[in-house]
Amino acid sequence: MSAEILCIGTELLLGNITNGNARWIAEQLASLGIAHHRQQVVGDNRERVIAAVREAAGRCRLLITTGGLGPTPDDLTTEAIAAAFDTPLVERPEVWADIQAKLAARGRPLTPSLRRQALLPDGAAVLPNATGSAPGMIWSPVPGFTVLTFPGVPSEMQAMWCATAAPWLLRSGLAEGVFASRMLRFWGVAESTLAEQVADLLEQPNPTVAPYAGAGEVKLRLTARAATAAAAEALLAPLEAEIRRRADAHCFGADGDSLASVVLERLRQRGETLAVAESCTGGGLGAAITAVPGASEVFLGGVIAYANAVKQELLAVPADRLASHGAVSDPVAEAMAEGVRRRIGSTWALAVTGVAGPGGGTAQKPVGLVHIALAGPAGVRSEPVRFGGSRGRDWIRTLTIGEALNRLRLALAESEAAESCR
Amino acid sequence: MSAEILCIGTELLLGNITNGNARWIAEQLASLGIAHHRQQVVGDNRERVIAAVREAAGRCRLLITTGGLGPTPDDLTTEAIAAAFDTPLVERPEVWADIQAKLAARGRPLTPSLRRQALLPDGAAVLPNATGSAPGMIWSPVPGFTVLTFPGVPSEMQAMWCATAAPWLLRSGLAEGVFASRMLRFWGVAESTLAEQVADLLEQPNPTVAPYAGAGEVKLRLTARAATAAAAEALLAPLEAEIRRRADAHCFGADGDSLASVVLERLRQRGETLAVAESCTGGGLGAAITAVPGASEVFLGGVIAYANAVKQELLAVPADRLASHGAVSDPVAEAMAEGVRRRIGSTWALAVTGVAGPGGGTAQKPVGLVHIALAGPAGVRSEPVRFGGSRGRDWIRTLTIGEALNRLRLALAESEAAESCR
């Protein structure tokens, strides 16, 4: 009853890109309860794709492929899979019409090579691609073996998986029982520390708990298997409650939540607004906030104060404060937060200033030192945080954004706790 | 004469981690000129490792494995490879002495399970691990087939590769010449259109040309094989020149370049500065610019003008212009660009305002409509662009950022072309 993943692309064999698709699909298969025993990568080579597909058909029930669905001569996945089972390709008029409509909507020319993407093996079902031009397929060329094909572009692959493949797989009978899972999200705690807090839970067979670490964020995946979805959910609920109790305020949300979405939702319920002033993150904090649909209800805007002159001119940071403390300091972060809050008239304001590197570090102010200020109705307060310089500029900026949002999240929680005591 | 990579670890099949080792080794093999046709991943399962190793031995000359060399019961790579060729394991006293010395130096206890790591198949050579306790091996169990084993910890694997494996591979005769490659980067052209412009070049065997599509960006990888690095580079140079000639201004850079890094470098050479005013991207344009180390030489800052009040207050966008044209319009984009350029005093300013969705679209102003304005010494000009709403908010924002930077890139190129004609 097991599955395999076959990723097709010479760029993977050349080490040009990391195989993030295999990891993502592996995680999805695990959450669906579909056992998965092998991953393979081959290049854009017809004979080797045919060989790999035939081998997989002899070993597994389900083969997931990525890559090779585009319009160029290198894209030969569909053709090779059809050839592996001596099946002719047939043009699907509805797919060709969809491709023509998408190109027209984008004002792009309709080139002849695009038409190849409307060819699928005789008997295969279309696996629709809502965003890109190349669809995939769901095809059982021989009894007991099904292949699902996806493009290599991660956003298209993931959207197709969620919209069509995951529901199909749930109905397919390939999953052993029904799985329910929840991803709990944490900030401000190390993966090893969290793992120790829940060490006893990591051992149990059902529901299972597995830790994952990302950039600053730590996650625990809870997965329960049962005969029905309701029974699986019932296994998850007490486990989630127990983990949240142990992790306390470190747990900020679950599943599709982000720090930004959680903070925006709290502010929306409170009828409050937010502005930002950014130096080292250069706009990344605003971008993280506005990545959440509907952010405009709460987020008013901000100032990217990269140069010191902008800090003075647009945020009214006093020149003597910059001169005496330097741009990377608590007094300047506080002046930035107060300045943007006043200028924009928001309830809350976050400000960040730091050394993202790789240059610009000193002994007193090393790469990775960031000052984060939060201004609100009760005043302003800045605190420094050190991320260390070894993991690079992107890492420091990403952690700064999370840390700033987490400060606001904790401040909101604290003010609500204080109110409920009154 | 080809190589395969076999990564062993259940954590890869569960999607716990991305397979960065496969990418790193693939890149090393390519640079050594060793053809590499397949990658596989299997879990910590003795029978499946044995099967995968035997299959590889029937297909390739060189197998690189990672993972499964540690002391726990899950670590069964060495034992399984020995079993695949019916060869007994023999303890190596020098390896056991090395493990004891390392543990003593770290003040760690010497547990019995560590001794398993001193076992290697009869006839295998030790592949030393200078930093960790588990060594690898170099072993030819049958004529014409060699397996090299590495631990899964990336830093240990990479150190062992560079110290011992790479020199061994260079002497092995497995390399077929030397590879050189270049990634050319394009904006403003569809993958299918570019592929047709270079269709004849996609067919040639050496150097090869392969297209890749990303979010808005299209890439061509050029790869040449020759006896020496200089000869391989000499094959690339005329091909690159020919492609750049055909693609004209669409080619914005190569290898590690980004639109932001290319624009910043041009501005730095001209001694000019840049500011931004962002509505729908919410800071993402500034974040893309400041992702480039050293951006502060050129980029001064900007305003995230999400709410209309911020457009008026910080950018001096006239209220009647907002009322009569709406926030998503050329007149407002132009006022934003002029406003931020004046406030911050930069040479150039980019402004974006659009409908990123999923909400907020109308028949006249659908999701995906963005107005991008560029203000500079010669004035200001805004133009709309439609990305279509089907690919979602993140996609629209990413394309908006690239399109804005590309407008500035083209304007700089045009002004330089005009100057050189004078």
pLDDT for residue A421 is more than 90: no
Average pLDDT of span A252-276: 97
Q: What is the DSSP string of B291-308?
A: TSTTGGGTEEEEEEE-SH
* Predicted confidence (pLDDT) at residue A419 exceeds the cutoff of 90: no
What's residue A317's pLDDT? 98
What pLDDT digit, counting tens, does each position of A82-131 carry? Answer: 999 999 999 999 999 999 998 888 788 888 889 999 999 999 999 999 98
Residue B375: per-residue pLDDT: 98
> For B376-401, what is the mean pLDDT?
92
Residue-wise DSSP of A169-223: HHHHT-SSSEEEEEEEEEESS-HHHHHHHTHHHHT-SSSEEEEEE-SSEEEEEEE
Between B28 and B88, the higher pLDDT residue: B88
Q: Among A69, A58, A159, A167, which residue's Cα sits nearest to residue A118?
A: A69
Which tokens is B347 given?
Answer: 């040479």
Q: Quick one: pLDDT band at residue A405, thresholds 50, 70, 90?
A: very high
Nearest Cβ partner for B286 among A52, A282, A359? A282
B303 interaction partners in chain A (CB closer than 8 Å):
301-304, 314
pTM comes to 0.79
Q: Verify whether the Cβ–Cβ distance A22 to B41 is below 8 Å.
A: yes
Buried b (16+ CB within 10 A) or exposed e, A188-214: bbebeebbeebeebeeeeebbbbbbbe
Q: Compute how many other C-beta atoms are within 10 angstroms of the C-beta atom of residue B227.
A: 11
Q: Cβ separation of A70 and B213 shorter than 8 Å? A: yes
What confidence score (pLDDT) does residue A49 get?
97
Q: Which residue has better confidence, B303 or A179?
A: B303
pLDDT category at A263 given cuts 50, 70, 90 is very high
What pLDDT, on a 0 to 100 scale, did the predictor assign at position B202? Answer: 86
Among A226-240, A255-269, A337-351, A365-379, the least confident range:
A226-240
Q: Do A23 and B17 touch (CB under 8 A)?
A: yes
Query: What is residue A229's predicted lDDT score, i.e. its pLDDT?
Result: 80
B1 falls in which pLDDT band (50, 70, 90)?
low
- Residues in contact with A199: Cβ distance below 8 Å, sequence separation at least 6, in sequence order: none
Judged by CB atoms closer than 8 Å, whether chains meet at A108 and B294 is answered as: no
How much is the average pLDDT of B340-346?
A: 98
Distance of alpha carbon A38 from alpha carbon A363, whole angstroms:
49
Mean pLDDT rounded to a whole number for chain B? 93
Q: How far apart are the first and last CA of chain B?
A: 57
Cβ of A71 within 8 Å of Cβ of B41? The answer is: no
Mean predicted lDDT score pLDDT of chain A = 93
Across the interface, do B306 and A295 touch by the CB < 8 Å criterion? Answer: yes
By Cβ distance, the residue of B280, B300, B306 closest to A310 is B300
Task: Give me the pLDDT at residue B50, please.
Answer: 98
Looking at beta carbons, which residues of chain B come within 8 Å of A393?
291, 293
**List of chain A residues whose C-beta atoms are within 8 Å of the C-beta of residue B54:** none
Least confident stretch, A201-205, A269-273, B161-165, B356-360: A201-205
User: Which domains, and CATH codes, for chain A?
Assistant: 3-172 (3.40.980.10), 179-254 (3.30.70.2860), 259-421 (3.90.950.20)
